[in-house]
Structure 1
Amino acid sequence: MLGFVATIFIARFLGSETLGIYYLVLSTVAWLGIAVKMGVPSAINKRVSEGDDGAAYTIAGGTIVLGLFLIVAVLSLLFHQQINDYIGYPAAAIVVLFLFVTAVQSTVNSILTGQHLVHISGIFNPIRTGTRSIVQIGAILAGFQITGLFIGYTAGYGLVSVLGLWIAIRHFDTISLPTEEHYRRIVSYAEYSWLGEIRSRAFNWVDVAVLGFFVSSSLVGIYTAAWNIAVFLILFGGSLSETLFPEMSSLSADDDSESVAELFEAALTYGGLILIPGLVGGTLLGERLLRIYGEEFTRGATVLSVLIVATLIQGYQRQFTMTLDAIDRPDVSFKVNAVFIGANVLLNVSLIPIFGVVGAAAATASSVGISLVVAYIALSSLVEFSVPVGEIGRQWAAAGIMGTVIYICLQFETVSAIASNIAVVLILVGLGAAVYFITLVAISARFRTTVDQNLPVDLPLVRS
């Protein structure tokens, strides 16, 4: 939430052009970061989660990432002029700094997840975002402008990297140096999982990267503001994947395919819990949500709706590829990701020159939809599972009722000033969330049971 607020603050104080430059820097870091990581953090996660020689696998993976970083850093500085020309700002050195802190943080996070410390790595995400946001806002108010954005980003990632590494080391029973076998097993997994890294970057950054060649920094800023809202909704699905992966991995190692299937079906059940009402609410309130960033951002209302569709599909697709990785079939996940990347690049390059930012959003949604179909076919050939159509349908029904209430409320108000717009958005979002969850509790016995089991107090109204 604080990251969302910080983006609004940045947009209103520095404008869409500065926001666009900042996100072009992040896009460049994301793509160069693929060469730095090459799937190694995913391999560390997998091997550490298996329970043996965790420290040795960590050291093996960490030294590989460090070596790759040094190579990419040198090349980035050699070609600094090309990087600066693309971004439209002298940021090559900043790109190298960001590459380092993101590589360290990703590696540390993979260790914690592999150690089944998902609750800790999950806490670090808001700590990282909160630190980054607070420092960025403070630096902007102090007059640092775009430099304040760079300072805050580095501070956020640096803090959680140091804390996370300290905790991870304390949870190793013994510290042992890696052998050739440890390196071989890291590389054998990473040679497939690296495409998953590209797949993640493609979903988040292909559109922004291609937009950088065809539209102004201002339009990139408007697009990323809409993307920021859409991605905010997918956080729950991402947390669910991180939580279930080590459990699935452990069960798969014990050849317990039935329990893996049960966990996967649970993931599908709740994968769209937030995204489905988010799509309905985002479509109805899109222009008002973007007006919070500033009047110039309202041009992205259509883009926002399409991007929320993309994140909804991605929320389900992620559960499929996560399960493929957990059952030690990164080769199959590799093929699924290859389909997505190919479709995403092709559609973005084809649609952006014609339709601009709307084409970028449509390309992302279409490509992730294609990959979802491929992932379904691939996983169903390996694991017997059933799609919880009933539960997903009930979530759509609750979202439909929520949407109807919001639509009726919108007929009785007219937004004029920014202040009143913020008040209207907050009220309608809160009302919509209440209507959605109350309705879902009423119509879904499974959801009532889940709520009852996870609440710290007994509420008779939610019992089945």
Structure 2
Amino acid sequence: MNRSITSGVVSVVSAKLVVLVVTALSTPLLYRFLGASAYGEYAFLLSVFAIYMIFVSSGITDGVRKFLAEDRTATNWSEHVVGFYFRLAILLAGLGALLLVLATSFGLVGLAFGSELTTYFYALAALVITAQFRDFARKTLMGFGLERYSEPLKVLDKVGFVAVALPLTYVGLGVMGALAGHLFASLLVGVIGLLLVHRRISLSSVFSSPTERFPRTEMVTFNSMSIALIFLLMSLYHIDIIMLNRFRSDAAVGNYKAALTLAEFLWFVPMAIQTVFVHSTSELWSQNRYRKISALASRTTRYTFLLTAIMAVGLAALADVAVPIYFGAEAEPAITPLLLLLPGALGFALARPILAISQGEGTLRYPVAATGAAAVINVVLNVALIPRFGMGGAAVATSVGYGSMFAFHCLSARRVGFDPLEDARLGRSALTTVLAAVPIVALSAAISGPWLALAVVPPAGFALFVTFALLVGALDPAEPFELLSLFPEPIGGTADAIHGRLTGGESEGMTRNWLQLFLFVGGLSLLVAGLAFGMLDPGLQSVAP
């Protein structure tokens, strides 16, 4: 992974980590202030809004960052791209908001979703406009490679939402208070973002007309295919929420959304990689660097598998204690759906970077077909399982739909022109996951105190997982230090020196050291498993020297 792409990924990951922390702290408070039923209504409204916004903004945001990132020699290329998409953003935002107001005023919204939700759709109409310019500004900055600006804006959006929504919901304004938080944050970010874009490219370019050679047809085609792709993706995210709202109570929807929220925590690094790869790999495609693309894709697949798998194992091991602590006792029904969602969340995490690289190539028919196949599976299973099994059925259907994304997008990648499995080491990564899962689950079961388990299991589990990954060859000994060398000083310099020694052949005695480490970890794992499942007497610990 070259440093320019890596710096973009680090910027995005850093911002997503901050957003993750803010989300992790605010979500349980929002759940408690709203209650399970109102939280279910809020989740349903956001699902409907997300699907509606596909047709308003998705082609614009994907298009502007892709075409800005391309290395084209046309005169005033950047100005014309920004102007073209800004005009389109204004037009679609106005139409989108107007249609939503008219549909609400003439009773179509009440007929479709119930009269009790009608007022909220007027707030969503205003949010159409503010969210459109927020997303346009951020994605334009990303197209210029300015993640150092776009990603702090994402943090500001989340912090602004929390700063307004939590006080308003606490004092009893309910769902409307949460929507007010989204309105405030998106307006603030939209204004600041457009000012930053204006510093790079004057927004007066909206009034300039490009030449006849400007590839309008190519852009419109990309936009339409991008809309189709995003619509299919959003159906994977939201069809379960919408259908569950029809067949089950608002409380069930709220608890299922709580399970989804925890499962989607697994995606924060894959989503960061996906965000950067769309525009970063566009340049590689334009230079016909196919071997570089395959190497980048397969290595990213391997790292994504390892990182997401350890998070999934840890979350599964701690689900019984984490969910009640995090959301409260009212959310205990979310535990089973969460466990059912985790395998699919892992598959979807693997598919995300592959999809982004395919998008960077620009020919979207294969990614659209792959996503469409997964979406059809998801819809069919949700229709079949939700009426009978409720939350459990929705979780199984969604997990299968999520998981199929990886298989379909591997096939799609081959058709696009790269191999994401070239050095993915899927067998070794899967073996690492299985070997590490046993002691991690056993350790969680052995610790009776929930807070102690939350403090001990994650770091111990991570150490065990990395050890097994190195032992079975899912990671090379130098690779962790290669990744750490990208961090700021003093971590980066120290890790770079260690990486140089390892790759320079200064590893005498390494085999013996790994064998000793394997015996130690294996013995520790057996001891923990024995204590957890009653095969050994805990009193034996007192005779240890």
Query: For 1:78, what is the secondary structure of its paired residue?
Result: helix
Q: Which deviates the most, 194-203 or 424-433?
A: 424-433
1:256-306 deviation line (CA, Å, top 9, x unaligned): 222222222232122224321122112222222221202121112121122
Unaligned runs of 5+ in 1: 416-420
Match of 1:63 in 2: 87
Match of 1:266 among 299, 312, 318: 299
For residues 227-259 of structure 1, what are the alpha-carbon distances to aligned partners after superposition, in whole Å with 9 as ceiling and x for unaligned?
Answer: 111112101001012222222101111222222
- Tell me what 2:279 maps to: 246
Instruction: Give 1:390 shift.
Output: 6.0
Out of 128, 142, 155, which is 1:99 matched to? 128
Question: Who is 1:408 aligned against?
Answer: 442
2:61 to 41, 62, 67: 41
Rounded Cα–Cα distance in structure 1 between residues aligned with 2:178 and 2:460 = 34
Note if 1:370 corresponds to 2:404.
yes
Could you tell me whether the CA contact under 8 Å between 1:40 and 1:187 is conserved in 2?
Answer: no
Name the CA distance, whole Å, in 1 between partners of 2:151 and 2:96: 29
Partner in structure 2 of residue 83 of structure 1: 109
Change (3 A) 1:410 1:92: same
Compare CA radii of gyration and give the structure with the larger one.
Answer: 2
By how many angstroms is 1:332 displaced? 2.0
1:277 corresponds in structure 2 to: 310
SS of the residue 1:274 aligns to: helix
Q: Does 1:350 find its partner at 2:384?
A: yes
Counterparts of 2:328 and 2:195, CA distance in 1: 41
Q: Distance in 1 between matches of 2:367 and 2:272?
A: 19
Q: Which amino acid aligns with 2:382?
A: N
After TM superposition, the structure 1 stretch with the greater mean CA deviation from structure 2, 185-194 or 141-150, is 141-150
Distance 1:340 1:108, change over 3 A: farther
Is the 8 Å Cα contact of residues 249 and 326 (structure 1) preserved in structure 2?
A: yes
Q: Tell me if the contact between 1:28 and 1:95 (Cα under 8 Å) persists in the aligned partners.
A: no
Distance of 1:91 and 1:260 partners within structure 2 = 45
Alignment map for 1:290-309 (pairs within 5 Å): 290-291=323-324, 292-309=326-343
Pair 1:454-2:486 in alignment: yes
Deviates more, 1:426-435 or 1:265-274: 426-435
Alpha-carbon distance, 1:120 to partner: 3.1
Q: In the alignment, what sits opposite 1:418?
A: none
1:444 to 468, 476, 488: 476
1:397: Cα distance to partner?
5.0
Aligned mates of 1:391, 1:138 — CA distance in 2: 48
1:233 and 2:284 equivalent? no
Secondary structure in structure 2 of the residue aligned to 1:444: coil
Asked whether the equivalents of residues 413 and 420 of structure 2 are also in contact (C-alpha less than 8 Å), the reply is no
TM-score normalised per structure 1:
0.90
- When residues 381 and 105 of structure 1 are mapped into structure 2, their CA distance, relative to the original with a 3 A threshold, is same
Contact between 2:377 and 2:401, CA under 8 Å: does it hold in 1? yes
- Is the aligned partner of 1:148 residue 2:181? no
- The 3 A distance-change label for structure 1 pair 58 and 350 is farther
- The equivalent residue for 1:185 is 218
Counterpart pick for 2:143 among 99, 102, 114? 114
Q: CA deviation at 1:434?
A: 4.6
- What's the C-alpha RMSD, in Å, of the aligned pairs? 2.7
CA distance in 2, matches of 1:134, 1:434: 36
Q: Is the 8 A contact 2:274 2:355 kept in 1?
A: no
1:422 is displaced (CA, Å) by 4.8
For 1:304 and 1:406, the matched residues in 2 are separated by: 18
Q: Return the alpha-carbon distance in structure 1 between the equivalents of residues 303 and 220 of structure 2.
A: 33
Distance apart, 1:149 and its partner CA = 1.1
* 1:216 counterpart (249, 252, 259): 249
| Greater mean alpha carbon deviation, residues 166-175 or residues 71-80 | 166-175
The answer to whether residue 39 in structure 2 is matched with residue 19 in structure 1 is yes
Instruction: Say yes or no: does 1:9 pair with 2:29.
Output: yes
Match of 2:96 among 47, 72, 94: 72
What corresponds to 1:158 in structure 2?
187
> Conserved in 1, the CA contact under 8 Å of 2:346 and 2:403?
no
User: How many angstroms apart in 1 are the aligned matches of 2:286 and 2:243?
Assistant: 41
Indicate how the Cα distance of structure 1 residues 447 and 123 shifts in structure 2: closer, same or farther if over 3 A, else same: farther
Contact 1:34 1:198 in 2 (8 A): yes
Deviates more, 1:122-131 or 1:249-258: 122-131
Report the CA distance shift for 1:394/1:154 in structure 2 as closer, same or farther (over 3 A): farther
Q: For 1:202-228, what per-residue CA distance to the aligned partner results, in whole angstroms no more than 9, with x for missing partners?
A: 222111111111111111100111111
Contact 1:269 1:388 survives alignment (8 Å): no
2:165–2:177 contact (8 Å) kept in structure 1: yes
- Whether the 8 Å contact between 1:234 and 1:274 is mirrored in structure 2 is no
Which one of 109, 113, 134 corresponds to residue 163 of structure 2?
134
Q: Is the 1:84–1:91 Cα contact (8 Å) retained in structure 2?
A: no
1:84 CA drift (Å)? 4.6
Task: Give, as a single letter, the amino acid of the residue that structure 2 aligns with 1:83.
Answer: V
Q: Give the total of aligned pairs.
A: 459
Q: Which moved more, 1:60-69 or 1:82-91?
A: 82-91
1:196 to 222, 229, 238: 229
Query: C-alpha distance in 1, partners of 2:122/2:427?
Result: 49
Rate the CA distance shift 1:339–1:222 in 2: closer, same or farther, 3 A: same
Q: Confirm whether residue 313 of structure 1 aligns to residue 347 of structure 2.
A: yes
What letter is aligned with 1:212? N
Measure, in 2, the Cα distance between the counterparts of 1:119 and 1:393: 37
State the Cα deviation string for residues 108-142 of structure 1 (Å, max 9, x = none).
22212211223432333333222212322233344
Q: Deviations over 1:393-422 (max 9, x none)?
A: 55545544553343333333445xxxxx45
Once residues 336 and 201 of structure 1 are traced to their aligned partners in structure 2, the CA distance between those partners, rounded to angstroms, is: 14
Letter in 1 for 2:137: V
Unmatched 5+ residue regions in structure 2? 1-20, 503-545
Determine the C-alpha separation between the residues in 2 that align with 1:446 and 1:159: 44
Between stretches 405-414 and 282-291, larger displacement belongs to 405-414
